[in-house]
Each structure stands twice: as structure tokens, then as C-alpha cells.
Amino acid sequence: MKRGQKKERKQFFHVDIIDTAEEGLAIGRCDDGRIIQVKGAVPGDIADAIALEKRKGMYITKATTFHKLSAERTEPFCSHFGLCGGCKWQHMAYEAQLHFKAKRVRDAFQRIGELDPSILQPIVGAPEQQYYRNKLEYTASDRKWLTDEEMKSGEVIQKDGIGFHLPGAFDKVLDIDHCYLQSDPSNGIRLFIKQFCISQEWPFFNLRLKTGFIRNIIVRTNLAGEAMVVLVVGEDNPDWNKLLVDQLVENFPQIVSLHVCINTKVNDSIHDLSATHVYGQEALTEQLHHVKFNIGPKSFFQTNSVQARNLYALTKELAALQPGDHVYDLYCGVGSLGIYMADSCKNVVGIEQIAEAVVDASKNAELNSITNAEFVVGQVEMLLDPSFIERYGRPDVVITDPPRAGMHPDVIKHLLAAAPTKIVYVSCNPATQARDLKMLSDAYTVVTAVPVDMFPHTHHIECVALLQRK
């Protein structure tokens, strides 16, 4: 091959698409038996594909030509599908999505957890497959991604945009016309801010130089139709801040809370920054059945409120709490699960490593007049030891909802020592959940497990498992 000449990318022909994979990809089997991952395909398709990269010995490819279309295919409803990375399964019928999500849990339980798949109950589908999120974070950029149509138009193009980061292009933002993830007034707020900033000739953020005024917009909504907006700006300009806030309040009566955060850092995270309350309520209130939660500008909360009600009710049902039960809520976040359980047990002790979340948890307990819940700051693997159990009492029931990495081995060790009668394990990662269930299997029987779909049109799946001490 001559210097400067591009290496020809490997192609695969008549690939049989047989399963789904992580990141919204599909699994394909080639004629020679080789397994590849394919972008843009649905199980049941037969397609040609071209290699994009090779990762851990496996080709990641993109479908180019379809010889047969799967019966599970459906027409994507969003004009941004294929570019935006938010909803990678829109081309797959929802019933098929549920099938493959349940299969993912079943496969993990069998292969990793060595569990009998008959313990799995039918997957709980999401009641709403559009406009189900209660939080979105938009990014502003002075260099939006230009579509092929815009490039070919020959017209002067407005290059400022507000939308989502494109996968694999940190400095480019896909300008969003309409997003189906969050209900009104989310789209209206984003479009209004974009047009108003353009009309005022305020600079949009440059993601390479880290300069500019409007940088990020966080919109939170609740089931009552109210909204909180957090304006993240790249420079401190009080006059511009006030003008934008006043315009938002005037045009969107649904906004009940507004905050401004000044971020001059390299990264977009605001968890280590102050958000200044500038209008309305300090927090947005959400109600899930009998419990209310105040959600602040930086609070973690389940992003699908409708399905969260089902998830919490299911967790409580499996826990089958008794009035005298001591309950531990591990990785408790803002205390939502523990607070939801508190009316059915003697007391709740929550552990969470993020101090701000523990403050929120205590405030939420107070909001609901709950006096039998206490929340402690610290890493679960560091706190949950014999001295902690001696201080707070041996738990009868443990609720655990760890991050994707699952539970630390020390947590499992201390759980085995504490020997609660029941453990209810809520997970967003079937593989690490199955691993942890296997590590607990000498002392506990997995009685049942229920997959719950919190995020339609993505590969993500939650699962709630009930463990009973042998």
C-alpha cells in the first residue's frame, strides 16, 4: 500500500443478524461462523456490513445493504434517529425490544449467575415509550453538526445550535428540532433559548476553546407538568443572566424554579459547582404514590417518574415488610426507596457516599413527616462493617441499588455476616447483578427476579431480585 493511501475497510456479506448487543448494536453471524457487531441492524435482518473498528478482537461494523428486513423492524418516529445517540432502538418494535431486554437478563443469570431462568417473571414494559424522561441536559455550541442537506444547500447556515453531543465527536452538537424524550415544555424552552440568544448575538459555547456564554441547559419536569430550568453559562454576565431569566419566566408559566450556574471549567459537570437560585421554588416536587420528593438542581432521581412508581411498588411488594423490620437502604441516593418503604417498617438506615444526596434524603424524609429514617454519608464498603451493624442494629431486610459496577466484594462479605432475612437487589446492569447473586448464593436463594424497562428505545434494563436467607 502506498504512503498516504487509505487502507480499504473490511466488508462482510450476507450477515445473519441474530441478537442484540451493548450500545444499541446488533450481533451478526457471518457465513464463516465469525461473530461481528453491527450498527443499524435488527435481529432478523440479513445485511452486508463494513468495518468501522476492531475492539477486543471483534469487528464493529455498520450495515450498508439489506438483503432481508426483519419482521421486528419499525419506522423510527424521530427525524434525528441515526445521528443522535439517545434512542438507538427506535427502528425495532417495542415488543421486540422487551423480548431482547428480558433475554439479556436471562442470559446473564444463566451464564454468570448460574441461576435457573425459571425464577424470572415477565418483563414490566414502560407505560409510555415517548416523553418518559423527567430530566434532559442540552449542550450549546457555536459549531453545530451540519447535515448533508445543509452542506448541499449552498445557503448561509446558522452554525449556533443547542442539542446533544454526537457520539465520537466531542466538539460537535446535533441541533435538535424536536426531542421525543421529555414532555412539554422541554422542547419549547430549548428552542426559545436558542432563538433568543441568537437574536441578542450572545456567543454560544465553543467546545474546543471553552469560551462563550450559553453552555448547557438542564430541564427537569414532573408529572404535574411543572418545570425547573438550570442555565449553565460559560462566563459571568449578570445582565445577560437576568434578561434571559426574565424572558423565560414571561414566556413559560410552567417554569416554577430557575437556577444559574457559572461553569468555566474544562468539563461540563456541575456537581462541584454552585447553582444560584434566581426564581420561584428552590426545588421541583415530584409525587410517587404516597411519597413526595423535592428534587434540586443537582439531585439524582430516577429519570422515568411513571415507571419509577412501578419499580418502587414492585420493590416494596417483594420486600414484604413487617412492622418490626429494621431496613438498610444501601447506595440510597436521595433516599427515595428507603422513604418509600418507611411507612411499612420499624426504621430505615440509608448509606450514600455523596454528601449532597444525603442532605436531600434527610429533607425528603422531613417533607413526608417521616421520623423513622436516618441517612449516613460514606462509601458502603467502608461503612457497612460489624461496628456499623452494632450501632444501627442488625437488618432484617436490605434494599440495595448499586451503580452499574455492582456491589463491592466487601459489601457482600458484610452482608453475609449481617445475615438479613431478605435482600431486595435493584440493578441497572444484569451482568454485575448476576455476578453478585452468585457470590451470595451459598447463604441466599434467589426466589424471583423481575426485569423492568425504564428506558424504551435503548438497550438499558433494570432488574429487581428477591433473595431469601437459606
* CATH classification at residue 419: 3.40.50.150
Q: Are 368 and 292 in contact (CB under 8 A)?
A: yes
User: For position 207, what pLDDT does the model report?
Assistant: 87
Q: Which domain holds residue 218?
A: 135-284
User: Which class for 129: exposed (0-12), middle (13-18), buried (19 or more C-beta within 10 A)?
Assistant: middle
- 428 assigned to some structural domain: yes
Q: Are 61 and 49 in contact (CB under 8 A)?
A: yes
Tell whether 371 and 224 lie within a shared domain: no
Nearest to 460 by CA among 334, 328, 332, 307: 307
Tell whether 328 and 459 lie within a shared domain: yes
Q: Are 248 and 255 in contact (CB under 8 A)?
A: yes
Tell whether 310 and 176 lie within a shared domain: no
Nearest to 126 by CA among 457, 467, 470, 469: 457
User: For position 24, what pLDDT does the model report?
Assistant: 87
Instruction: Kindly report the pTM of this predicted structure.
Output: 0.93
2, pLDDT greater than 60: no
Taking phi first (over 0 means left), then psi (-120 to 50 degrees means alpha), and beta for anything else, what does residue 24 get? left
Percentage of the chain beyond pLDDT 90 is 88
319, pLDDT greater than 50: yes
Tell whether 36 and 121 lie within a shared domain: no
- 4 assigned to some structural domain: no
- Whole-angstrom distance, CA of residue 4 vs CA of residue 59: 24
- 1 assigned to some structural domain: no
Tell whether 146 and 277 lie within a shared domain: yes
User: For position 6, what pLDDT does the model report?
Assistant: 64
Nearest to 215 by CA among 198, 238, 192, 232: 232
152, pLDDT greater than 90: no
The three cell numbers locating residue 446? 434467589
- 90 assigned to some structural domain: no
- Whole-angstrom distance, CA of residue 292 vs CA of residue 108: 35
253, pLDDT greater than 60: yes
Task: Give the model's confidence band at 7: pLDDT under 50 very low, under 70 low, under 90 confident, else very high.
Answer: confident
Q: Which long-range CB contacts under 8 A does 277-282 form with residues at least 24 apart?
A: 278/241, 278/245, 279/245, 279/249, 279/255, 280/249, 280/255, 280/256, 281/256, 281/257, 282/257
Give the total residue count for the chain: 470
156, pLDDT greater than 60: no
- 350 assigned to some structural domain: yes
Tell whether 340 and 273 lie within a shared domain: no
388, pLDDT greater than 80: yes
Nearest to 334 by CA among 313, 312, 316, 319: 312
416: helix, coil or strand? helix
Tell me the CA end-to-end span of the chain in Å, nearest whole number. Answer: 65
Q: Are 430 and 108 in contact (CB under 8 A)?
A: yes
Tell whether 144 and 264 lie within a shared domain: yes
Q: What is the pLDDT of residues 69-123, one digit of tens each?
A: 999 999 999 999 988 888 999 999 999 999 999 999 999 999 999 999 999 999 9
Tell whether 239 and 311 lie within a shared domain: no
* CATH classification at residue 244: 2.40.50.1070
Strand partners of residue 220:
135, 228
User: For position 1, what pLDDT does the model report?
Assistant: 47
- 78 assigned to some structural domain: no
Q: Mean pLDDT over residues 154-159, rounded?
A: 71
198, pLDDT greater than 60: yes
Provide the domain count of the chain: 3
Average per-residue pLDDT in the chain?
94
- 87 assigned to some structural domain: no
137, pLDDT greater than 90: yes
Tell whether 123 and 151 lie within a shared domain: no
Tell whether 181 and 259 lie within a shared domain: yes
Q: What is the pLDDT of residues 40-67, one digit of tens each?
A: 999 999 999 999 999 888 999 999 999 9
Tell whether 311 and 437 lie within a shared domain: yes
Tell whether 369 and 457 lie within a shared domain: yes
- 188 assigned to some structural domain: yes
What residues are labeled active site?
428
Q: Mean pLDDT over residues 213-219, rounded?
A: 97
